């Protein structure tokens, strides 16, 4: 068989899991998280330029598979992502993902990358960016309820971006809490392992819930949450999956990414469809108020949105350019004559 050398246009930079991990270590984890937050904030501040649609979801009894597309008119991006809570018991990741950027002018892809690791990083960066914006002034302590794969990223992002110094951990599975505490050793964070969710929130200014069960749940009950805290609710991310008691939602001011998606997937699916919420991009641009008093309860009902993934893809594209942290992937058929794709096939025959 004749081996046809791929043209430059046929080659798309591919960032593997190994490349992504090398990139994180090259940039440094705190700087990676801060850099992602900067890109996310920059894109949120030009929110109105983007195509916006709730993610396209295929639900099953076992979990969900989703596509998350968006474009700013010059670059198009999407992420494929799943959420299968049962996977952990089978030795598999609950969430896996990959993503792509393409040039709108030609439709040609310009980046293909793993996003299992990158989604964990961008989720944490988004949480910390919002906490920096909404948490009470001088917040130093976070309760991390749910100590699975996201917990260390959340904790370290809150330290790097929102300035916390102490994290209080709780999970139904003590082994998960021990794992998280072990991984946070020597990071500079003060870590306390707790035996109940109530113990974890004692003295905490930021309450982060990140649980995986695909079921209506009440991780934070009505009597657990007092005035003057910021709640970072990231575990409720599909229909039928919640973490926050409705009474807390009624007492707090709720901030979301994209209301048409959050009303379907977030904790506010428990409320009336017209319950008032504030879009976080409006706070970042100064068009809406964030925290207005010390006693206010602010709630970030975060389900993840495509623009955050677009920002993360942009960050990776910019950071891997000129490095060895990608592989040129022969992804596109690019015949000499664009009308002669068949001829290209025939010429490849030995």
Q: Cβ contacts of residue 113 below 8 Å, gap of 6+?
A: 14, 15, 20, 98, 99, 100, 313, 316
Check if the beta carbon of residue 255 is closer than 8 Å to that of residue 130: yes
Count of beta carbons in the 10 Å neighbourhood of residue 53 = 14
For CA atoms 245, 247, 253, 255, give the dihedral sign.
positive
Q: What would the 3-class secondary structure string for the chain be?
A: CCCCCCCHHHEEEEECHHHHHHHHHHHCHHHHHHHHHHHHHHHHCCHHHCCCCCCEEEECCCCEEEEEEEECCCEEEEEEEEECHHHHHHCCCCCCEEEEEEECCCCCEEEEEECHHHHHHHHHHHHHHHHHHHCCCCCCEEEEECCCCCHHHHHHHHHHHHCCCEEEEECCCHHHHHHHHHHCCCCCCEEEECCCHHHHCCCCCEEEECCCCCCEEEEECHHHCCCCCEEEECCCCECCEEEECHHHHHHCEEEECCHHHHHHHCHHHHCCCCCCCEEHHHHHCCCCCCCCCCCCCEEEECCCCHHHHHHHHHHHHHHHCCCCCCEEEECCCCCCCCCCHHHHHHHCCC
Check if the beta carbon of residue 183 is closer than 8 Å to that of residue 167: no
Nearest to 145 by CA among 189, 84, 210: 210
51 is catalytic: no
User: Which of 237, 253, 301, 309 does the annotation list as catalytic?
Assistant: 237
Catalytic positions are 237
């Amino acid at each position: 068989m004749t081996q046809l050398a791929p043209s430059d246009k046929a080659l798309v930079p591919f960032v593997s899991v190994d490349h992504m991990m090398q990139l994180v270590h090259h940039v440094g984890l705190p700087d990676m998280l801060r850099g992602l937050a900067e890109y996310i904030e920059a894109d949120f501040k030009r929110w109105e330029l983007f195509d916006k649609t709730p993610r396209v979801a295929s639900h099953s009894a076992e979990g969900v598979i989703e596509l998350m597309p968006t474009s700013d008119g010059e670059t198009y991006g999407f992420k494929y992502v799943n959420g299968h809570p049962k996977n952990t018991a089978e030795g598999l990741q609950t969430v896996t993902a990959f993503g792509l950027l393409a040039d709108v002018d030609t439709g040609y892809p310009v980046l293909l990358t793993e996003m299992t690791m990158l989604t964990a990083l961008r989720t944490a960066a988004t949480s910390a960016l919002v906490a920096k914006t909404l948490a009470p002034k001088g917040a130093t302590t976070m309760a991390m309820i749910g100590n699975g794969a996201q917990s260390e990223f959340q904790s370290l992002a809150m330290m790097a971006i929102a300035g916390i110094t102490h994290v209080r951990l709780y999970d139904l599975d003590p082994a998960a809490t021990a794992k998280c505490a072990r991984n946070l050793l020597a990071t500079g964070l003060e870590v306390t392992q707790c035996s109940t969710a109530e113990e974890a929130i004692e003295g905490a200014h930021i309450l982060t819930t990140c649980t995986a069960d695909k079921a209506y749940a009440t991780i934070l009950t009505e009597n657990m949450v007092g005035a003057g805290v910021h709640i970072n609710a990231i575990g409720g991310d599909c229909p039928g999956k919640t973490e926050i008691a409705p009474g807390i939602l009624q007492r707090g001011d709720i901030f979301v990414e994209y209301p048409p998606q959050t009303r379907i997937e977030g904790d506010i699916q428990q409320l009336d469809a017209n319950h008032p919420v504030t879009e976080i991009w409006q706070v970042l641009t100064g068009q809406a108020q964030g925290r207005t008093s010390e006693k206010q309860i602010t709630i970030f009902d975060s389900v993840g949105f495509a623009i955050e993934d677009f920002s993360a893809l942009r960050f990776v594209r910019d950071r891997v350019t000129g490095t060895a942290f990608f592989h040129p992937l022969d992804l596109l058929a690019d015949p000499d004559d664009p009308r002669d794709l068949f001829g290209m096939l025939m010429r490849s025959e030995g």
